[in-house]
Amino acid sequence: MVPRQIGTSAHHLKLVTTGDGSHTWYVEELNEHYHSTFGALQESMHVYIGHGLRPLLPQKRPLKIFEMGFGTGLNAVLTLLEAGEVPVQYTAVEAFPLTINEIAQLNYPLAIEHPAAKEDFQKIHNVKWEQPIKISPTFTLHKRNAKLEDLNFPINSFDLVYYDAFAPSVQPELWTPEIFKRIQEWMKPGGVLVTYSAKGTLKRTLAALGFTVEHPPGPPGKNEITKATKPI
């Protein structure tokens, strides 16, 4: 077990091999995993890449992406590998970043079957926090070590939001109507939000804010996920 400080209490992380062979961290005191135990890699590919990024790539236009919950960096590295020549400005927030030792134990460079996976995984974790860093000719990463509640961005900033906070039962303060109202303001008209959560309260919240809410099928272990589009 790796002792860590999450929030205001000491917690322990346990490395877990998920159903598809890729790793995740388990927070014992919260009884919560960073990713799906049915498959960390396949969950990220299905939810954030498959239903978030890929539908936007054929437009061949620059994308601004916001991620709530940088965590292990899995969503960021998959986006870097998938986006190809499409310019991406990627902003991610993480209040309690993993340590270098915790990152080094993750097997994503091997689990992701891509020749650049190892190098790109190292790049996203080696860049400094709190400043935008260009890590490829087309990909800029800005990691923010902060709480979501303390951030502010100009209205109409982002084309795509990956919402990957811990579950509502663990971090209810990050699933409130007030939070999603702020995020909606940060999103461009026609912008898309995707998340693994399929809670009825979440979908009702998004619908009440005016989002068009879809219910795509989920990855293994989940019946469905949530995809919400901001009105144009």
pTM of this structure: 0.94
pLDDT tens digit string along 100-141?
999 999 999 999 999 999 999 999 999 999 999 999 999 999
Helix (H) or strand (E) holding 199, with range, is: none
Percentages of the chain per state (helix, strand, coil), in multiples of 5: 30, 30, 40
Say if residue 98's pLDDT is above 60.
yes
Tell me, yes or no, whether 12 lies in a domain. no
DSSP summary character for residue 224: B
CA pair distance 232, 190, nearest whole angstrom: 5
DSSP summary character for residue 218: P
Q: What is the pLDDT of residue 11?
A: 65
Tell me, yes or no, whether 126 lies in a domain. yes
CATH of the domain at 80: 3.40.50.150
**Distant-in-sequence, close-in-space partners of 229: CB < 8 Å, separation ≥ 6:** 190, 191, 192, 193, 211, 212, 214
Whole-number CA gyration radius for the chain:
17
Tell me, yes or no, whether 21 lies in a domain. no
Count other C-beta atoms under 10 Å from residue 92's C-beta: 24
pLDDT tens digit string along 193-210?
999 999 999 999 999 999
Tell me, yes or no, whether 32 lies in a domain. no
Tell me, yes or no, whether 33 lies in a domain. no
Give the length of the chain.
Answer: 232
User: What's the total number of domains in the chain?
Assistant: 1
Tell me, yes or no, whether 190 lies in a domain. yes
Domain range for 211 is: 40-229
Q: What is the pLDDT of residue 144?
A: 97
Lowest mean pLDDT among 10-14, 70-74, 101-105, 120-124: 10-14
CA pair distance 155, 114, nearest whole angstrom: 36
Separation in Å, CA 26 to CA 3, 4, 21, 57, 199: 12, 11, 15, 33, 22
Tell me, yes or no, whether 101 lies in a domain. yes
DSSP of 108-129, one letter per residue?
Answer: HHHHS--TTHHHHHHHHHHSPT
